[in-house]
Amino acid sequence: MRRTALGTMLTLGLLLAACGSDDRADPQTDDGWEPDDAPLVEVEGTVIVADGAEPQVCAVVRESLPPQCGAGVGIEGLDPDDLDGLDGAGRDGGVLWGAARLTGTFDGERLTLTEAPAAVSGEPAGTSTTGGPIEGAVAEARDAVLDLADERDATVLGYRAVGDALEVTVVDPRGPLAAAVREEFDDGDVRVVIDGWLTHRDE
């Protein structure tokens, strides 16, 4: 059960350079995008390259040395040498990491780079849990969102109450979890706003 990444992480990584929260595109299916239809996206996060493991760009990073990815997606086409000189770049044993802005196609599980990593655009933003108290109908909506994530083995990166609404942060604002949340709360008593870590280039 993956539920929310917030409950188990000590430190939040780079997140949400920009957010998507609209219904302008058809969501991907549970089987992912067809290769020719994989959308072009951008994301900012902590890139971690460990010997013998798939490189990852992380929305949530565990506080350790070397850092460990708490929630993120795999990367294809990465040249680790491109991380040299980027913000926060470091190396410890067989692990290399650094903050980067990545551009590539996303198939629902993995980011295939179409450009070399670039420096992040500004101050990193963490997943915010500030806001009003989560109680009553908003708390019930939060629990329902986490159940939807469990059913899809998906990760909720964060959530907070904003007035009488619930703001939820997911990896992909056009993915199956976001689509399921929109369908579940389309006519509900609580308004649920979806924010995404990935930014689609056509937004």
Instruction: Tell me the average pLDDT of the chain.
Output: 79
pLDDT for position 62? 84
- Is 6 domain-assigned? no
Better-predicted residue by pLDDT, 27 or 202: 202
* pLDDT tier, 147 (very low <50, low <70, confident <90, very high otherwise): very high
Better-predicted residue by pLDDT, 143 or 32: 143
- 35: which 2 tokens? 């290769």
pLDDT for position 201? 85
Rounded mean pLDDT, 64-92: 87
What are the pLDDT digits (tens) for 11-59?
Answer: 333 333 333 333 333 333 333 434 447 789 999 999 999 988 899 999 9
Rounded mean pLDDT, 134-159: 93
- Is 163 domain-assigned? yes
Q: How many domains does the chain have?
A: 2
Tell me: do 160 and 77 sit in the same domain. no
Residue with tokens 């308004």: 191
pTM: 0.74
pLDDT for position 101? 93
What are the pLDDT digits (tens) for 59-75?
Answer: 988 888 888 888 899 99
Domain residues for 88?
A: 11-30+40-113
Q: For the domain that residue 184 is a member of, what is the CATH number? A: 3.30.70
